[in-house]
Copies of this chain bind each other. A is one copy, B any other.
Amino acid sequence: MSAPARRPVFLDCDTGIDDAVALAYLLASPSIELVGVGTVSGNIDSATAARNTLDLLALAGRTDIPVAVGAHDHLSHGYGGGATHVHGENGIGGVTLPTATRAPEDASAVDLLLELSHRHAGDLHLLTIGPVTNIALALAADPSLPERISGVTAMGGAALCAGNITPVAEANIANDPEAAATMLDAAWDITLVPLDVTMEHTLGEEDREALLASANPFTRAVGEMLDHYFDFYRPIYGERGCALHDPLAAAIAVGDGVTATRAPRVPVIVDTTSGPGRGQTIADLRGQRPRPRDHDGVRTRIVLEVDRPLGPHLVDTLTRF
């Protein structure tokens, strides 16, 4: 009996501490095969994000996975310098990784995504955990892309909770609202994983210690990076720990650890005005009492609740990795 085929996943990311955690989770998953990575500016610039990704993949011995640099600037504005107060000057909490000998692909992140969408036509799942500039550019370059994508899982937005970079906007979406609007308008199934759920899933000091004690160098590196990330989150949660934004989106995309239990299909638009709501994901969550309901013909679902805490499953997966 042969093992069931792993589902091919393309990751678009801005590595980033929680991107690194998500990457480790994806590599450790028995259910999916990471077939390519594109990078975008967000937590850090796209070139540094690619460097971080290559170094992390080398630590895991996965030099077979192509990494391509994507957009440095966003559709409406230039790269703004990243979130170094959250992710450190180098994007990975100041941790120095062995420099991988491998360089990024000559192809851009857009070209790599399009190429892989043909190679895995109909099967490729797209997971985005940064601003979605590359996705908008890929849709512009080839509007038939959605026909070859099995589905999209995107970390981003805030529906019924506070934003993180404005009172109502989450960073991935607000860093490129026009790109997010383009992605949400395209004809594919999208699972949006907003702050509403990601803020409810955390790691704490004990989890970090478990990661640091791992035999796997990638997992130990993740544990080291979290030191910086925990500092940022300390005033937010009132104790050292962190939210699991990107790892939760990765886990939902993989689908064998946590399951979305409340994720209605509702219209979601992005505020692309220059007003105070710029970058907000406006999800129409009216009419969800007394029970969740899907809107007819809507292909975007927004995750509001999952079945269990991600933390224990994540630590278990990374320490067995």
Contacts and interface: CB of A to CB of B under 8 A. Distances in A.
Contacts of A283: 167
Nearest to A164: B286
Contacts of A282: 167-168, 276-277
Contact of A271 (B235, B277, B285): B277
B289 A163 contact: no
* From A236, A271, A284, residue with most partner B Cβ within 10 Å: A271
Given A160-B161, A164-B286, 12 more contacts: A160-B160, A160-B162, A168-B277, A168-B282, A238-B290, A239-B290, A271-B277, A273-B274, A273-B276, A273-B277, A275-B277, A277-B282
7 contacts: A163-B286, A167-B267, A167-B283, A168-B280, A272-B275, A273-B277, A277-B277
Interface in A159-210: 160-164, 167-168
A303 B235 CA distance: 23
Interface residues of A, number: 32
Interface in A259-305: 267, 269, 271-277, 280, 282-291
A168 B237 CA distance: 27
A269 to B, nearest CB: 6
A177 B109 CA distance: 43
Contacts of A286: 162-164, 167
A26 to B, nearest CB: 28
A90 B168 CA distance: 37
